[in-house]
Amino acid sequence: MMRRVILVVLALLLAAPARAGEPQPFVQGSYAALVKEHAGRPLVVHFWSLTCAPCLADLPEWPKIKQRLGFDLVLVSTDSLERGPALAARLKRAGLDDIPSYAFADSFTERLMFEVARDWRGELPRTQLIAADGETTAVLGSVGEKALRDWLSRPPHTCGSPGCCSPRSDQR
């Protein structure tokens, strides 16, 4: 019964038209859907918040880095989706209003963080680097262009078992 209620609420959230430039709801299953949608291409999922000073300082750098290095970028605010207008305004000021963005839309935020990484307890900024082969590296704190360039230039994971032949894994 609870699963049915959650599915109905999720359907209503997804069906509701978002105001232009406002983040979409990040709910249970959103992270897996993003990874699947971008499979085969390098994907950077950056988690941030309006109350995180390093996050706000980093935001204006993302459009420049993305343009120079050419990876898929998705932004996820750990702020409530109810803060949508403030989130959209901050992203616009940073030149990120054309980048797919999401905000937490589940009051059980621990569940959302657990889906991203079992060991994540909400530290920000957090950036998930998902290689074209699906291997994931987590970066806590600011991530610079050099680190992203190094990550993009690493050879693909080849042994078939996540984390065993590469030092860049925090796969669950």
Residue 38 counted as domain residue:
yes
Residue 107 counted as domain residue:
yes
Query: Could you report the per-residue pLDDT of 66-116, keeping only the tens digit for each?
Result: 999 999 999 999 999 999 999 999 999 999 999 999 999 999 999 999 999
The pLDDT of residue 156 is 77
The pTM of the full predicted model, rounded to 2 decimals, is 0.81
Place of tokens 């709910």: 27
Q: CB–CB of 131/155 below 8 Å?
A: no
Q: Which two tokens stand for residue 51?
A: 């109350």
Q: How far is CA 140 from the centre of its chain?
A: 13
Residue 62 counted as domain residue:
yes
Residue 62 is part of a domain; what is its CATH number? 3.40.30.10
Q: Among candidates 73, 69, 74, 72, which has minimal Cα distance to 150?
A: 69
- Does the pLDDT value for residue 10 go beyond 80? no
Residue 160 counted as domain residue:
no
Number of domains composing the chain: 1
Q: How far apart are CA 158 and CA 8, in angstroms?
A: 41
pLDDT band per the 50, 70, 90 thresholds, residue 7: very low
Residue 43 counted as domain residue:
yes
The pLDDT of residue 16 is 44
Q: How far apart are CA 115 and CA 118, in angstroms?
A: 7
Beta bridge pairs of residue 102: 24, 76
Residue 163 counted as domain residue:
no
Residue 89 counted as domain residue:
yes
Residue 147 counted as domain residue:
yes
Query: Could you report the per-residue pLDDT of 15-67, keeping only the tens digit for each?
Result: 444 445 799 999 999 999 999 999 999 999 999 999 999 999 999 999 999 99
Q: Which two tokens stand for residue 43?
A: 């994907």
Residue-range definition of the domain harbouring residue 39: 21-153
